[in-house]
Amino acid sequence: MQNYLSIVQHILDNGVKKEDRTGTGTIAVAGAMFSHDMAEGFPLLTTKKMPFQIIATELEFFIKGITDKEWLKERNCHIWDEWCNPKKVSYGHDEETKQNMADERDLGTVYGFQWRHYNAPYDNWNSDYTNQGVDQLKNLVEMIKKDPTSRRLIVNAWNPQQLDTMALPPCHWAFQVTILDGKLNLLWNQRSVDVMLGLPFNIASYALLLHLLAKETGYGEGTLVGFLGDVHIYSNHIDGAKEQLTRDPHTHKLCTIETGNFTSIFDWNANDTKKKGYESYEKISFPIAV
């Protein structure tokens, strides 16, 4: 995963100080690209310990189009704890608002809703959206099977009409699939890139999605590519970034993953996929910026 560490080093060497929405402050660069050949192993970072099960659970949440924060919390996934549908609680930094945001379970029209019910009128986390909106993920799978040469194999999470009902506007806002030489490649676009905390999750999540789409459509696993926009390290992550760069990425080999009981990506459960042979350096704690 030298490609990832090279991005970290590039920001430390060339990043420009920039204020941000959270008030934390960052150093940032304009644009970077991540690329990984899945034949080299599953891209779960080894220079710090990564929680694969949490990543897989969030991806299941997206694939199922769920918008209920409690569904995640019940499965010990706390990625979305601090956020909620801004129509229910308006975003703010004061402690009372933060607590109200944490207590509200509705996340609104976030990633999975757009993947499975794009632009459907939104009511609440427990509403029935069956056959409402555009099921982009289903359409993608059908198109891959029917017309694998297509250059229109795209799923888009950025919906300007519903940004005001999303807990967060999508950071990774679209992904595309290409089929080349019998292999499925996945390319994702990301507007805002928290390099130390978020990007390692994004890499593993889209690698897992690539794996599942390949199983669903019968293709081999090709290349994972990320086109990254505002690429930044938060000011309170810099020391941890420097520590991570002291760790040799070749000390531990990349793990592999295996998925059992697979019938369809739409029936997939996070527990169906297991990592094999994962070893890493110890965890580095990076505080989340809300």
Report which of 186, 146, 188 is spatially closest to residue 170, judged by C-alpha positions. 188
221 and 36 Cβ atoms separated by less than 8 Å: no
Per-residue model confidence (pLDDT) at position 290: 66
101 and 80 Cβ atoms separated by less than 8 Å: no
**What residues have CB less than 8 Å from 206, skipping those under 6 apart?**
172, 175, 186, 188, 224, 226
Measured at the CA of 185, the angle between CA 137 and CA 107, to 5 degrees, comes to 35
Q: How many whole angstroms separate alpha carbon 61 and alpha carbon 68?
A: 9
User: Domains in the chain, ordered, with CATH?
Assistant: 2-276 (3.30.572.10)
76 and 56 Cβ atoms separated by less than 8 Å: no
Report which of 287, 243, 232, 288 is spatially closest to residue 10, judged by C-alpha positions. 232
Q: Which of 77, 84, 171, 255 is catalytic?
A: 171
3-state SS class at 224:
strand
Q: How many whole angstroms separate alpha carbon 228 and alpha carbon 89?
A: 30
Regions of the chain where pLDDT drops below 70: 290
278 and 47 Cβ atoms separated by less than 8 Å: no
pLDDT, tens digit, for every residue of 222-249? 999 999 999 999 999 999 999 999 999 9
224 and 203 Cβ atoms separated by less than 8 Å: yes
255 is catalytic: no
Per-residue model confidence (pLDDT) at position 22: 85
Per-residue model confidence (pLDDT) at position 57: 98
Q: How many whole angstroms separate alpha carbon 210 and alpha carbon 212?
A: 6
Per-residue model confidence (pLDDT) at position 287: 80
Per-residue model confidence (pLDDT) at position 119: 98
